[in-house]
Amino acid sequence: MATTQVVEDWSLEREAYTGVLRYYELAKKQEWQVRDLPWGEVPPIPETTKGTPQKRARRLDVWRSVVTQQLQADELACEMSSQLLNIAPDPEAKLYYSTMVQDESRHTEAWLKLIDEAGGTAERDPYLDELAHMTLEADTLEEKVFQMQVFYERLIISRFRLIARASRGTVLEDLCNRLTTDDGIHHGAGMAYEKVLLRNADKKTKTALVDAANRLLPTFVEHALWRPKERAFIGETMRSRDIAKLKEDIEIGVRLAQSLGLDVSDVQLPFP
């Protein structure tokens, strides 16, 4: 009787992972190569040939800065996804993370090639490094999956859409469209896995997850409102828009947490 019980529990348990496996299949089907991008056919970033030399240089700096931020984000995504591949105990999740590590590496390769063609890197966002560090150092797998896949990878999708819209007819636009799809899969897989993880988690783990998210929010605000010197002039004029977007992003995070059955009544929204 006890044996039957264990076997039944095991198969029930594995059934819960079909969502994760579906994303594994999808990720393999969607895989692309850096050489598939239209290198040499269209400009790497929007042309900066109009206006005074000063204006052109300033526009070029803005695009270099945009590409640098995304390169930095994908470099950190490589570290976070390889950590998830290493520590996830479930074979289904390991299969899926093997594709995510490849995706993030390919994204980094593409950004490296693009930043080279755009004239080299600009300033790094120190708060993004700090956020990634917090996720890498997080205590539990549940926290890591929540921060990386449920929250960051959901938010990055709207960034890619914005950049693509502003860079029509360039390699940058093509790359952003591909990353919209890839990060859609990363987010979906994370939601599917987090649901399974939280179903088996005790109250202490869930409370710790919300506490960790609370501790992360002030750094997230700094990151969202940070502007490198190349884009400082835009930062000032668009600050109110940035704050509106930031509120929207945090509200999305709270809704996602709620949809995973987490108690978000203790979340303190750090709006300036």
C-alpha to C-alpha distance for 1 and 267, rounded to whole angstroms: 45
Percentage helix, strand, coil for the chain under 3-state DSSP, each rounded to 5: 80, 0, 20
**CB distance 43 to 169 below 8 Å:** yes
Q: For tokens 């978000």, what's the residue? A: 264
Q: How far is the CB of 121 from Fe ion (least distance, A)?
A: 17
Q: In the stretch 5-44, what mask flags binding to Fe ion with x, by CB under 5 A?
A: ----------------------------------------
| 173 CB-contact burial (10 Å; exposed 0-12 / middle 13-18 / buried 19+) | buried
Query: Quick check: 186 binds Fe ion (CB under 5 A)?
Result: yes
Q: Which range touches Fe ion (CB under 5 A), out of 31-39, 168-176, 182-190, 261-269?
A: 182-190
Q: How far is the CB of 149 from Fe ion (least distance, A)?
A: 8
- Non-local (6+) Cβ contacts of 146 within 8 A are 190, 194, 209, 213, 257, 260
Q: How far is the CB of 80 from Fe ion (least distance, A)?
A: 9
Q: How far is the CB of 73 from Fe ion (least distance, A)?
A: 7
How long, in residues, is the chain? 272
Number of residues in contact with Fe ion under rule CB under 5 A: 7
Q: Which of 83, 97, 204, 99 is nearest to 138 (CA)?
A: 83
Query: Quick check: 75 binds Fe ion (CB under 5 A)?
Result: no
Distance of CA 35 to the CA centre of its chain: 23
- Site residues for Fe ion, window 222-241 (CB under 5 A)? none
Query: Quick check: 106 binds Fe ion (CB under 5 A)?
Result: no
* Closest to Fe ion by CB, 30 or 207: 30
DSSP, res 267: P
* Closest to Fe ion by CB, 77 or 192: 77
Q: How far is the CB of 34 from Fe ion (least distance, A)?
A: 13
* Closest to Fe ion by CB, 179 or 198: 179
Q: Which of 92, 125, 173, 183 binds Fe ion (CB under 5 A)?
A: 183
What residues are paired with 39 via a beta bridge? 42
- Site residues for Fe ion, window 137-166 (CB under 5 A)? 153
Q: For tokens 């797998």, what's the residue? A: 141
* Closest to Fe ion by CB, 64 or 107: 107
Query: Quick check: 77 binds Fe ion (CB under 5 A)?
Result: yes
Binding site for Fe ion (CB under 5 A): 74, 77, 104, 107, 153, 183, 186
